[in-house]
Amino acid sequence: MANELRPCPCDIGDRFDYGGRGQEVQVEHIKAYVCKPPAGTDKAVIVIHDIFGWQLPNTRYMADMLAANGYIAICPDFFVGQEAWKPSNDWATFNEWLKTRNAGKIDKEVDVILKYLSEQCGAKKIGVIGFCWGGAAVQHLMLKNPHLKTGVSLYGVIRFFEDRSSLLHPTFFIFAEKDDHIPLEQVTLLEQKLKQNCKVDYKVKIYPGQTHGFVHRKREDINPQDKPYIEEGRKDMINWLNKYL
């Protein structure tokens, strides 16, 4: 299990030096980063950030990648103005910090973003992806939000919603083999529960040798041994969205 002194082993990884091709907008009470594809589309993806918040360049890089693949991508501030976690923070305070940021209490914000995507962007088919904290939020939304078509949960924290597996929409779960925070026994248990209870298409995939955050918090150019898996994870994510949106 994870070291209790560091309940989340999320180091920030390789922080990208990346400015982003999109723009920041205000959507009712939420700030959000939006990037649109060159050609018009009615397909959109909500990107749910990890503990490092909506302004992390790595997450914006992923949103821009979705836009380059033909989706309107929006990454809202699901902490709604509360500070994101900083690598310099004391990990002993992490659980207290987390109590005020519940991945299962984002429904109001999601409704606001869905309305914006539909009314302002012309989106008709909307999916969601999320990383770590955001990956758990994806699982929550796939269990209850009827307006989303599909989801991709990337190393979502299983223990947040481990007792619930009756998904409403096709969901793809991406996990890392050497994730200090999500033991493989938890992944196996999730698979068993999905097999028993899930009536929609789902997939659980474990990427060999990888650690927590590999798809968006590692750079291929400085992690050559991880490059094939980083690229595979990103490609799998896009292929899943292409299939269901």
User: Which sequence positions are flagged as catalytic?
Assistant: 132, 179, 212
Token pair 């995507």 in the structure block, residue: 117
Q: 102-107 — which CB contacts under 8 Å span 24+ positions?
A: 103/133, 103/134, 103/136, 103/137, 103/140, 103/157, 103/160, 104/136, 104/137, 104/140, 104/160, 104/161, 106/48, 106/78, 106/137, 106/140, 106/141, 107/144, 107/145
Encoded amino acid at 96, one letter: E
Residues 6+ positions from 239 with CB-CB distance below 8 Å: none
Secondary structure class of 48 (helix, strand, coil):
strand
CB distance 130 to 47 below 8 Å? yes
- What is the strand order of the sheet 150-154 is part of? 23-27, 30-35, 72-76, 43-48, 125-131, 150-154, 171-176, 202-207
Using DSSP's 3-state secondary structure scheme, residue 151 falls into strand
- Is 72 within 8 Å of 43 (Cβ atoms)? yes
